[in-house]
Protein backbone atom coordinates (compact mmCIF):
# COMPACT_ATOMS: atom_id res chain seq x y z
CA UNK A 1 0.00 0.00 0.00
CA UNK A 2 1.26 3.48 -0.85
CA UNK A 3 2.39 5.53 2.13
CA UNK A 4 1.36 9.17 2.28
CA UNK A 5 1.99 11.96 4.75
CA UNK A 6 -1.44 13.58 4.75
CA UNK A 7 -1.71 14.43 8.43
CA UNK A 8 -0.59 13.55 11.92
CA UNK A 9 -4.02 12.54 13.13
CA UNK A 10 -3.96 9.37 11.04
CA UNK A 11 -0.45 8.33 12.21
CA UNK A 12 0.24 6.12 15.19
CA UNK A 13 2.86 6.94 17.81
CA UNK A 14 5.28 4.33 16.39
CA UNK A 15 5.29 5.94 12.95
CA UNK A 16 5.69 9.41 14.46
CA UNK A 17 8.55 8.12 16.60
CA UNK A 18 10.25 6.54 13.59
CA UNK A 19 9.92 9.75 11.52
CA UNK A 20 11.42 11.79 14.35
CA UNK A 21 14.23 9.35 14.88
CA UNK A 22 15.02 9.34 11.16
CA UNK A 23 14.86 13.15 11.07
CA UNK A 24 17.35 13.44 13.94
CA UNK A 25 19.65 10.92 12.29
CA UNK A 26 19.56 12.64 8.88
CA UNK A 27 20.40 15.90 10.65
CA UNK A 28 23.44 14.41 12.39
CA UNK A 29 24.67 12.88 9.15
CA UNK A 30 24.18 16.06 7.11
CA UNK A 31 25.91 18.21 9.73
CA UNK A 32 28.78 15.73 10.20
CA UNK A 33 29.18 15.09 6.46
CA UNK A 34 28.49 11.39 6.94
CA UNK A 35 26.80 9.28 4.22
CA UNK A 36 23.09 8.52 4.20
CA UNK A 37 20.85 6.67 1.74
CA UNK A 38 19.47 8.62 -1.23
CA UNK A 39 16.49 8.30 -3.58
CA UNK A 40 18.11 9.37 -6.86
CA UNK A 41 15.83 7.65 -9.36
CA UNK A 42 12.67 9.37 -8.11
CA UNK A 43 11.09 12.65 -9.16
CA UNK A 44 8.92 14.74 -6.85
CA UNK A 45 6.45 17.41 -7.99
CA UNK A 46 6.14 20.53 -5.82
CA UNK A 47 2.56 21.79 -6.08
CA UNK A 48 2.08 25.03 -4.21
CA UNK A 49 -1.39 26.44 -4.77
CA UNK A 50 -0.87 28.83 -1.85
CA UNK A 51 2.03 31.12 -0.94
CA UNK A 52 4.91 29.72 1.04
CA UNK A 53 8.47 30.64 1.95
CA UNK A 54 9.86 28.25 4.53
CA UNK A 55 7.77 25.19 3.77
CA UNK A 56 8.52 25.28 0.08
CA UNK A 57 12.24 25.87 0.50
CA UNK A 58 12.49 23.26 3.27
CA UNK A 59 10.83 20.64 1.04
CA UNK A 60 13.12 21.58 -1.85
CA UNK A 61 16.24 21.48 0.29
CA UNK A 62 15.20 18.13 1.78
CA UNK A 63 14.51 16.73 -1.68
CA UNK A 64 17.90 17.88 -2.94
CA UNK A 65 19.74 16.53 0.08
CA UNK A 66 18.16 13.12 -0.38
CA UNK A 67 18.87 13.08 -4.09
CA UNK A 68 15.37 13.48 -5.54
CA UNK A 69 14.73 15.22 -8.84
CA UNK A 70 12.31 18.14 -8.52
CA UNK A 71 9.57 19.44 -10.82
CA UNK A 72 7.97 22.73 -9.77
CA UNK A 73 4.34 23.49 -10.46
CA UNK A 74 2.19 26.54 -9.77
CA UNK A 75 -1.34 27.29 -10.93
CA UNK A 76 -0.17 30.43 -12.66
CA UNK A 77 1.32 29.37 -15.97
CA UNK A 78 -0.35 25.91 -15.82
CA UNK A 79 -3.50 24.55 -17.43
CA UNK A 80 -5.36 25.08 -14.14
CA UNK A 81 -5.56 28.73 -15.15
CA UNK A 82 -7.43 27.42 -18.24
CA UNK A 83 -9.93 25.70 -15.94
CA UNK A 84 -8.44 22.21 -15.66
CA UNK A 85 -9.70 20.44 -12.55
CA UNK A 86 -7.47 19.29 -9.69
CA UNK A 87 -8.25 15.66 -10.53
CA UNK A 88 -7.20 16.04 -14.18
CA UNK A 89 -4.08 17.95 -13.17
CA UNK A 90 -3.09 15.18 -10.75
CA UNK A 91 -3.74 12.50 -13.38
CA UNK A 92 -1.59 14.44 -15.84
CA UNK A 93 1.29 14.55 -13.36
CA UNK A 94 0.83 10.85 -12.67
CA UNK A 95 1.19 9.89 -16.32
CA UNK A 96 4.10 12.25 -16.68
CA UNK A 97 5.67 9.74 -14.36
CA UNK A 98 6.25 11.84 -11.29
CA UNK A 99 6.85 9.55 -8.31
CA UNK A 100 5.68 11.75 -5.41
CA UNK A 101 3.83 15.01 -4.86
CA UNK A 102 4.26 17.70 -2.23
CA UNK A 103 1.08 19.72 -2.12
CA UNK A 104 -0.12 22.92 -0.45
CA UNK A 105 -3.71 23.97 -1.05
CA UNK A 106 -6.15 26.37 0.57
CA UNK A 107 -8.83 23.66 0.63
CA UNK A 108 -8.76 21.20 3.54
CA UNK A 109 -8.63 17.67 2.15
CA UNK A 110 -7.17 18.55 -1.26
CA UNK A 111 -4.02 16.42 -0.72
CA UNK A 112 -6.20 13.45 0.26
CA UNK A 113 -8.14 13.86 -2.98
CA UNK A 114 -4.87 14.07 -4.90
CA UNK A 115 -3.69 10.86 -3.21
CA UNK A 116 -6.74 9.04 -4.62
CA UNK A 117 -5.77 9.79 -8.20
CA UNK A 118 -2.01 10.07 -8.13
CA UNK A 119 -0.84 6.55 -7.40
CA UNK A 120 2.39 7.47 -5.56
CA UNK A 121 3.05 9.13 -2.22
CA UNK A 122 1.50 12.53 -1.49
CA UNK A 123 2.96 14.77 1.21
CA UNK A 124 0.70 17.47 2.62
CA UNK A 125 2.50 20.82 2.84
CA UNK A 126 -0.51 22.49 4.49
CA UNK A 127 -4.18 22.20 3.49
CA UNK A 128 -6.56 24.95 4.59
CA UNK A 129 -6.99 24.94 8.34
CA UNK A 130 -6.66 21.16 8.43
CA UNK A 131 -3.09 19.79 8.81
CA UNK A 132 0.55 20.65 8.28
CA UNK A 133 2.27 17.41 9.29
CA UNK A 134 5.87 18.18 8.35
CA UNK A 135 5.74 21.42 10.35
CA UNK A 136 4.64 19.48 13.44
CA UNK A 137 7.42 16.91 12.94
CA UNK A 138 10.04 19.68 12.70
CA UNK A 139 8.64 21.38 15.78
CA UNK A 140 8.69 18.10 17.71
CA UNK A 141 12.30 17.39 16.74
CA UNK A 142 13.17 20.91 17.92
CA UNK A 143 11.54 20.34 21.32
CA UNK A 144 13.18 16.93 21.73
CA UNK A 145 16.62 18.40 21.02
CA UNK A 146 16.21 20.79 23.95
CA UNK A 147 14.10 18.79 26.37
CA UNK A 148 15.10 15.23 25.47
CA UNK A 149 11.46 14.14 25.31
CA UNK A 150 7.86 15.12 24.56
CA UNK A 151 6.17 12.98 27.17
CA UNK A 152 4.96 14.88 30.21
CA UNK A 153 5.68 18.36 28.80
CA UNK A 154 3.06 21.10 29.03
CA UNK A 155 2.73 22.87 25.68
CA UNK A 156 0.65 26.05 25.39
CA UNK A 157 -0.49 26.76 21.81
CA UNK A 158 -1.41 30.45 21.79
CA UNK A 159 -3.50 32.43 19.31
CA UNK A 160 -5.46 31.79 16.15
CA UNK A 161 -6.20 28.08 16.54
CA UNK A 162 -9.36 28.43 14.45
CA UNK A 163 -7.45 29.01 11.21
CA UNK A 164 -4.29 27.09 12.04
CA UNK A 165 -3.27 23.81 10.47
CA UNK A 166 -0.04 24.12 12.45
CA UNK A 167 -2.01 24.05 15.72
CA UNK A 168 -3.97 20.98 14.68
CA UNK A 169 -0.99 18.93 13.53
CA UNK A 170 1.03 19.91 16.58
CA UNK A 171 -1.81 19.14 18.96
CA UNK A 172 -2.27 15.67 17.46
CA UNK A 173 1.42 14.93 17.49
CA UNK A 174 2.09 16.21 21.00
CA UNK A 175 -0.88 14.47 22.56
CA UNK A 176 -0.13 11.16 20.81
CA UNK A 177 3.42 11.40 22.16
CA UNK A 178 2.27 12.02 25.73
CA UNK A 179 2.52 15.81 26.11
CA UNK A 180 -0.24 17.93 27.66
CA UNK A 181 -1.67 20.43 25.18
CA UNK A 182 -3.34 23.73 26.07
CA UNK A 183 -5.07 25.97 23.56
CA UNK A 184 -4.94 29.62 24.58
CA UNK A 185 -6.81 32.45 22.88
CA UNK A 186 -10.01 34.44 22.59
CA UNK A 187 -13.19 32.45 22.07
CA UNK A 188 -13.60 33.84 18.57
CA UNK A 189 -10.26 32.34 17.49
CA UNK A 190 -10.84 28.91 19.00
CA UNK A 191 -12.95 26.63 16.78
CA UNK A 192 -16.48 25.71 17.79
CA UNK A 193 -15.53 22.02 17.53
CA UNK A 194 -12.81 22.55 20.17
CA UNK A 195 -13.98 19.49 22.11
CA UNK A 196 -12.84 17.30 19.19
CA UNK A 197 -9.25 18.52 19.47
CA UNK A 198 -6.88 17.00 22.01
CA UNK A 199 -6.23 19.68 24.61
CA UNK A 200 -7.69 22.01 27.21
CA UNK A 201 -8.91 25.51 26.50
CA UNK A 202 -7.70 28.63 28.32
CA UNK A 203 -9.22 31.98 27.45
CA UNK A 204 -6.79 33.80 29.64
CA UNK A 205 -3.07 34.06 28.84
CA UNK A 206 -1.90 33.93 32.47
CA UNK A 207 -3.58 30.61 33.19
CA UNK A 208 -2.63 29.25 29.75
CA UNK A 209 1.06 30.00 30.23
CA UNK A 210 1.14 28.95 33.87
CA UNK A 211 4.16 26.68 34.28
CA UNK A 212 4.22 25.76 30.56
CA UNK A 213 7.38 24.06 29.25
CA UNK A 214 6.79 25.21 25.68
CA UNK A 215 4.91 28.29 24.43
CA UNK A 216 4.00 27.92 20.79
CA UNK A 217 2.57 31.07 19.21
CA UNK A 218 0.47 31.09 16.06
CA UNK A 219 0.20 33.76 13.40
CA UNK A 220 -3.01 35.77 13.28
CA UNK A 221 -4.20 34.49 9.87
CA UNK A 222 -5.80 37.60 8.52
CA UNK A 223 -6.22 36.11 5.04
CA UNK A 224 -8.49 33.34 6.40
CA UNK A 225 -10.53 35.58 8.69
CA UNK A 226 -13.84 37.17 8.12
CA UNK A 227 -14.18 40.54 9.77
CA UNK A 228 -15.09 40.78 13.41
CA UNK A 229 -13.24 37.83 14.95
CA UNK A 230 -10.91 40.13 16.82
CA UNK A 231 -11.96 43.68 17.61
CA UNK A 232 -8.54 44.93 16.57
CA UNK A 233 -5.01 43.66 16.20
CA UNK A 234 -3.98 46.02 19.00
CA UNK A 235 -6.61 44.53 21.30
CA UNK A 236 -5.41 41.01 20.48
CA UNK A 237 -1.81 42.00 21.17
CA UNK A 238 -2.77 43.59 24.49
CA UNK A 239 -4.45 40.42 25.72
CA UNK A 240 -2.52 37.61 24.06
CA UNK A 241 0.89 38.81 22.93
CA UNK A 242 3.63 36.67 24.44
CA UNK A 243 6.33 38.95 25.81
CA UNK A 244 9.55 38.58 27.68
CA UNK A 245 7.61 39.88 30.68
CA UNK A 246 4.63 37.54 30.67
CA UNK A 247 6.88 34.53 29.98
CA UNK A 248 7.52 34.86 33.73
CA UNK A 249 4.27 32.93 34.13
CA UNK A 250 5.69 29.93 32.26
CA UNK A 251 8.27 27.45 33.55
CA UNK A 252 11.67 29.10 34.12
CA UNK A 253 13.33 27.14 31.29
CA UNK A 254 10.36 27.37 28.91
CA UNK A 255 10.91 27.37 25.16
CA UNK A 256 9.31 29.87 22.76
CA UNK A 257 8.25 28.76 19.29
CA UNK A 258 6.51 30.21 16.23
CA UNK A 259 6.05 28.50 12.85
CA UNK A 260 6.44 31.77 10.94
CA UNK A 261 5.66 33.99 9.24
CA UNK A 262 5.77 36.12 12.38
CA UNK A 263 3.86 39.35 12.87
CA UNK A 264 6.33 41.05 15.20
CA UNK A 265 4.65 43.01 17.94
CA UNK A 266 1.41 41.06 17.50
CA UNK A 267 1.97 37.41 18.50
CA UNK A 268 5.38 37.99 20.09
CA UNK A 269 7.42 40.98 21.14
CA UNK A 270 10.94 41.34 19.75
CA UNK A 271 12.61 40.35 23.00
CA UNK A 272 10.71 37.08 23.26
CA UNK A 273 11.08 36.35 19.53
CA UNK A 274 14.83 36.94 19.48
CA UNK A 275 15.72 35.95 23.07
CA UNK A 276 17.58 32.94 24.41
CA UNK A 277 14.42 30.92 24.82
CA UNK A 278 13.36 31.35 21.22
CA UNK A 279 13.68 28.31 18.94
CA UNK A 280 12.25 29.94 15.82
CA UNK A 281 15.39 29.52 13.72
CA UNK A 282 15.88 25.93 14.97
CA UNK A 283 12.35 25.14 13.83
CA UNK A 284 13.19 26.37 10.35
CA UNK A 285 16.37 24.33 10.10
CA UNK A 286 14.89 21.15 11.53
CA UNK A 287 12.09 21.44 8.99
CA UNK A 288 14.58 20.28 6.37
CA UNK A 289 15.67 17.13 8.19
CA UNK A 290 12.22 15.84 9.08
CA UNK A 291 11.24 16.33 5.44
CA UNK A 292 14.20 14.18 4.38
CA UNK A 293 12.84 11.59 6.79
CA UNK A 294 9.37 12.03 5.34
CA UNK A 295 10.55 11.45 1.77
CA UNK A 296 12.53 8.40 2.85
CA UNK A 297 9.58 7.04 4.81
CA UNK A 298 6.84 7.57 2.19
CA UNK A 299 8.96 5.62 -0.29
CA UNK A 300 8.62 2.67 2.07
CA UNK A 301 11.89 2.90 3.99
CA UNK A 302 12.47 2.92 7.72
CA UNK A 303 15.07 2.73 10.41
CA UNK A 304 16.11 -0.81 9.45
CA UNK A 305 16.93 0.35 5.89
CA UNK A 306 19.23 2.98 7.34
CA UNK A 307 20.97 0.25 9.33
CA UNK A 308 21.20 -1.95 6.23
CA UNK A 309 22.71 0.99 4.34
CA UNK A 310 25.37 1.32 7.05
CA UNK A 311 26.20 -2.40 6.89
CA UNK A 312 26.59 -2.21 3.11
CA UNK A 313 28.73 0.92 3.40
CA UNK A 314 30.97 -0.81 5.95
CA UNK A 315 31.40 -3.80 3.63
CA UNK A 316 32.18 -1.70 0.53
C1 LIG B 1 2.27 28.28 8.42
C2 LIG B 1 1.33 27.83 7.34
O3 LIG B 1 1.43 28.23 6.18
O4 LIG B 1 0.50 27.04 7.69
N5 LIG B 1 3.53 28.59 8.05
C6 LIG B 1 4.41 27.58 7.79
O7 LIG B 1 4.18 26.76 6.96
N8 LIG B 1 5.54 27.54 8.53
C9 LIG B 1 1.68 29.18 9.40
C10 LIG B 1 1.05 30.44 8.93
O11 LIG B 1 0.84 30.70 7.76
O12 LIG B 1 0.71 31.20 9.84
User: Considering the entire predicted model, what is its pTM?
Assistant: 0.96
Do 197 and 244 fall within a single domain? Answer: yes
Vertex 242 angle, CA 237 and 247, to 5°: 145
Predicted confidence (pLDDT) per residue in 301-316, tens digit: 999 999 999 999 999 8
Do 101 and 145 fall within a single domain? Answer: no
Do 179 and 55 fall within a single domain? Answer: no
Do 32 and 73 fall within a single domain? Answer: yes
Residue 288 domain-assigned? yes
What ligand 1 atom has the least distance to the C-alpha of 259? 8
Do 116 and 248 fall within a single domain? Answer: no
Do 268 and 290 fall within a single domain? Answer: no
Say how many Å lie between the CA of residue 303 and the centre of ligand 1. Answer: 29
Task: Share the mean pLDDT of the chain.
Answer: 94
Predicted confidence (pLDDT) per residue in 215-270, tens digit: 999 998 877 665 667 778 888 999 999 999 999 999 999 999 999 999 999 999 99
Measure the CA–CA gap between 89 and 94, rounded to whole angstroms: 9
Sign of CA dihedral 96, 101, 104, 109: positive
Measure the CA–CA gap between 155 and 279, rounded to whole angstroms: 14
Give me the number of domains the chain comprises: 2
Do 200 and 262 fall within a single domain? Answer: yes
Domain extent for 25: 13-132+284-302
Predicted confidence (pLDDT) per residue in 147-178, tens digit: 999 999 999 999 999 999 999 999 999 999 99
For residue 193, the model assigns a pLDDT of 86
Residue 301's alpha-carbon distances to 21, 70, 245, 314, in angstroms, are 13, 20, 46, 20
Do 89 and 155 fall within a single domain? Answer: no
Do 256 and 272 fall within a single domain? Answer: yes
Residue 282's alpha-carbon distances to 41, 133, 138, in angstroms, are 30, 17, 9
Say how many Å lie between the CA of residue 189 and the centre of ligand 1. Answer: 16
Say how many Å lie between the CA of residue 166 and the centre of ligand 1. Answer: 7
Mean pLDDT check: name the lowest of 75-79, 175-179, 295-299.
Answer: 75-79
We report the CATH number of the domain holding residue 269 as 3.40.50.1370
Amino acid sequence: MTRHLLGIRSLDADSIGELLRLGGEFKRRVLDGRPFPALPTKTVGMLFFEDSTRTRVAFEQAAKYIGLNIVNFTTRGSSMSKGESLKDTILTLRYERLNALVMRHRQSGAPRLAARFFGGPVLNAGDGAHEHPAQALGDALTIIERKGRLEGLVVAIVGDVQHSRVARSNAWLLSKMGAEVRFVGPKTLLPSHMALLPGRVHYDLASGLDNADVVMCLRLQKERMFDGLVSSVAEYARLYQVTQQNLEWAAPDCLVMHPGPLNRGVELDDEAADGDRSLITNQIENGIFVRMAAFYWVFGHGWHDLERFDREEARA
